[in-house]
């Protein structure tokens, strides 16, 4: 694992954006695995800036997102499809048909998971997968459990995740209780993985990801077994590392 400690959120975001931009420049038709949550927003803003300056093009990029809430329409302002449109896709030249997010409205979640896994597989999996970290060490929506789920699947969100994400909804009751997420196997097939973490509330998850035992109780700990992982954190998020 390569670990970069940046002084604050802006520096973290800029370095993350630089690594994503380097991927796009070196392979213009790459498959980007994209993430939601508040942490990657600064990196997306930087990518939009470079696109607007004419320094970066997403015209040939294909994208696959990690996850989506069950029951939220793409137009719902807390859906992850909406997040991606609003924070990145609407502001760059990515071709809409080349962007993929699981559908939270599919009548049969199992079928949608199988369809989505096939989409990611047909694209050859991600060249670069961006990940945020849940406070409990979840990646995508792979919550702590007794095994590492392999493929895209339906999950029941833990109370800790529902509470952490309640800040984006009117109340915790409005947070969807289920989500569709790429599996740990789907994520681990990415050729490279970039984790971003910011703030003291991620310090414990970062420490366990980097230096704890590899266990499905901390899903991100499996990244220790991936050959090409970069973690970029600000000082607060990395404060639990020696
Ligand atoms: C959600 C997403 C994760 C994200 C996590 C952390 O649970 N499914 O992909 O990493 O939130 O979000 P934040 O960056 O807002 O702390």
* pLDDT per residue of the chain (242 residues) written in tens, 0 to 9: 999 999 999 999 999 999 999 999 999 999 999 999 999 999 999 999 999 999 999 999 999 999 999 999 999 999 999 999 999 999 999 999 999 999 999 999 999 999 999 999 999 999 999 999 999 999 999 999 999 999 999 999 999 889 988 999 999 999 999 999 999 999 999 999 999 999 999 999 999 999 999 999 999 999 999 999 999 999 999 999 98
Asked, for residue 242, whether it belongs to a domain, the answer is: no
Q: Which atom of ligand 1 is nearest to the CA of 35?
A: 9
Q: In terms of C-beta density within 10 A (0-12 exposed, 13-18 middle, 19 or more buried), how is residue 60 classed? A: middle
- The answer to whether the CB of 79 is under 6 A from ligand 1 is no
Asked, for residue 239, whether it belongs to a domain, the answer is: no
Take residue 221 and report the two structure tokens written for it: 């700990």
At residue 46, the pLDDT reads 98
At residue 63, the pLDDT reads 98
Asked, for residue 25, whether it belongs to a domain, the answer is: yes
Asked, for residue 225, whether it belongs to a domain, the answer is: yes
Q: In CATH, what number is assigned to the domain containing residue 51?
A: 3.40.50.1360
Asked, for residue 17, whether it belongs to a domain, the answer is: yes
**CA triplet 175, 112, 104: central angle to 5 degrees?**
25
At residue 242, the pLDDT reads 81
Asked, for residue 52, whether it belongs to a domain, the answer is: yes
At residue 93, the pLDDT reads 98
**Distance, CA 139 to ligand 1 centroid (Å)?**
8
Q: Distance between CA atoms of 183 and 108, rounded to whole angstroms?
A: 18
Sequence-distant (6+) residues with CB within 8 A of 89 are 63, 96, 99
At residue 160, the pLDDT reads 87
**Distance, CA 132 to ligand 1 centroid (Å)?**
5
Take residue 153 and report the two structure tokens written for it: 């699947």
Per the CB < 8 A criterion, the answer to whether 179 and 69 are in contact is: yes
Torsion sign across C-alpha atoms 189, 108, 177, 87: positive
Asked, for residue 193, whether it belongs to a domain, the answer is: yes
At residue 167, the pLDDT reads 92
Torsion sign across C-alpha atoms 233, 218, 179, 184: positive
**Distance, CA 162 to ligand 1 centroid (Å)?**
11
Q: Distance between CA atoms of 72 and 80, rounded to whole angstroms?
A: 9
Domain count, the chain: 1
Q: Which domain holds residue 84?
A: 2-130+150-231
What is the pTM (predicted TM-score) of this model? Answer: 0.97
- The answer to whether the CB of 141 is under 6 A from ligand 1 is yes
Q: Which atom of ligand 1 is nearest to the CA of 196?
A: 14
Asked, for residue 141, whether it belongs to a domain, the answer is: no
- The answer to whether the CB of 133 is under 6 A from ligand 1 is yes
């Amino acid at each position: 694992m390569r670990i970069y400690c940046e002084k604050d959120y802006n520096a973290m975001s800029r370095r993350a954006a630089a690594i994503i931009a380097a991927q796009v420049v070196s392979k213009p038709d790459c498959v980007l695995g994209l993430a939601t949550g508040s942490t990657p927003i600064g990196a997306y803003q930087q990518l939009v800036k470079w696109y607007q300056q004419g320094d970066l093009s997403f015209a040939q990029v294909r994208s696959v997102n990690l996850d989506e809430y069950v029951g939220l329409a793409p137009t719902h302002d807390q859906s992850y499809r909406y997040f991606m449109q609003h924070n990145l896709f609407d502001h760059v030249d990515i071709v809409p048909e080349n962007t993929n997010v699981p559908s939270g409205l599919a009548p049969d979640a199992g079928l949608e998971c199988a369809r989505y896994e096939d989409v990611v597989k047909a694209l050859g999996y991600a060249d670069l997968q961006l990940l945020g970290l849940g406070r409990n060490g979840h990646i995508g929506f792979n919550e702590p459990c007794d095994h590492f789920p392999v493929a895209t699947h339906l999950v029941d969100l833990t109370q800790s995740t529902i509470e952490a994400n309640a800040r984006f909804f009117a109340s915790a009751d409005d947070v969807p209780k289920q989500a569709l997420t790429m599996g740990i196997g789907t994520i681990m097939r990415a050729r490279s993985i970039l984790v971003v973490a910011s703030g003291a509330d991620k310090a414990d998850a970062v420490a366990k990801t980097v230096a704890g035992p590899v266990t499905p109780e901390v899903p991100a700990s499996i990244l220790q077994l991936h050959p090409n992982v970069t973690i970029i954190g600000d000082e607060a998020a990395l404060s639990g590392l020696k």
